[in-house]
Amino acid sequence: MSEYRTGLGWDNHRTGPGRPLIIGGVTIPCEFGLEGHSDADILLHAVTDAILGAAALGDIGMHFPDTDPRWKGAASSLFLKHAVALAAEKGFEIVNVDSTVILEKPKLKDHRLSMRENLASALNLELDRVSVKFKTSEKVGPVGEGRSAEAQAVVLLKRGD
Ligand code: C5P
Ligand code: MG
């Protein structure tokens, strides 16, 4: 018998000058980026937390504290792959991932396929099982004013036949 688990992930980073804008492993040409200890990839962080959450394995900061110099500037794909490995140790495989990135500008839709491919590769999933969506915040609030960006993710994990 199969057991199914859902997990929810959310992340939020401030925008800032002189930083790369890396979302879903894609570096997007832009005059600002996202601040953070690692590469500040909000999408990968949200998906990582969703996987950890579904497997009841804590959260990203528990496994990769931002006070640890080992993770300064780290590629977030490392966090994601580690979460997948921890979930696999508990017998879980990923069924699908859905996500939303909320960013006022620039437009991200031309990068959707690259982001999905990066996620599918890190998660060892078929492309069809990985969804990435984009929204503005309609100029309202910190995201809408361009001061931050957010990502949300849900995953479904399966254990057993
Ligand atoms: O937020 P809004 O509904 O106006 O977004 C309309 C469309 O614009 C989205 O469905 C998405 O395809 C695209 N979009 C984007 N990059 C963003 C925000 C939205 O490509 N940063
Ligand atoms: Mg983060």
Q: Whose CA is nearest to atom 5 of ligand 1?
A: 135
Q: What is the pLDDT of residues 57-72, one digit of tens each?
A: 999 999 988 888 887 8
**Pick from 159, 42, 29, 50: nearest CA to 98:** 50
Ligand 1 close to Cβ of residue 100 (< 6 A): no
Question: 3-159: what CATH class?
Answer: alpha beta
CB 53 within 8 Å of CB 59: yes
Beta carbon of 136 within 6 Å of any ligand 1 atom? yes
Q: Which atom, in ligand 1's list, is nearest to the CA of 110?
A: 20
Q: Are 26 and 118 in contact (CB under 8 A)?
A: yes
Mean pLDDT, residues 95-107: 98
Atom of ligand 1 nearest to the CA of 107: 16
pLDDT of residue 108: 98
The pLDDT, as a whole number, for residue 69 is 84
Indicate whether residue 112 lines ligand 1 (CB < 6 A): no
Mean pLDDT of the chain: 96
Task: Report DSSP state, residue 127.
Answer: G
Q: What percent of the chain has pLDDT over 90?
A: 90
The verdict on the CB of residue 107 being under 6 Å from ligand 1 is: yes
Asked whether 108 lines ligand 1 (CB < 6 A), one says yes
Task: Place 92 in a pLDDT band, splitting at 50, 70 and 90.
Answer: very high
| pTM, full prediction | 0.96
Residue to mutate, 136, 139, 152, ligand 1, most ligand atoms under 8 Å from C-beta: 136
Ligand 2 centre to CA of 89 (Å) is 24
Return the residue whose CA atom lies nearest to atom 15 of ligand 1.
Answer: 107
Percent of the chain exceeding pLDDT 70 equals: 100
Q: Which amino acid residue places its CA nearest to atom 16 of ligand 1?
A: 107
Q: What is the pLDDT of residue 71?
A: 77
- Beta carbon of 109 within 6 Å of any ligand 1 atom: yes
pLDDT band (50, 70, 90) for residue 153 = very high
What is the average pLDDT across 133-140?
A: 98
Instruction: Assign 132 to helix, strand or coil.
Output: strand
Question: Which secondary-structure segment (H or E) carries 81?
Answer: helix 76-89
| Cβ contact 51:29 at 8 Å | no
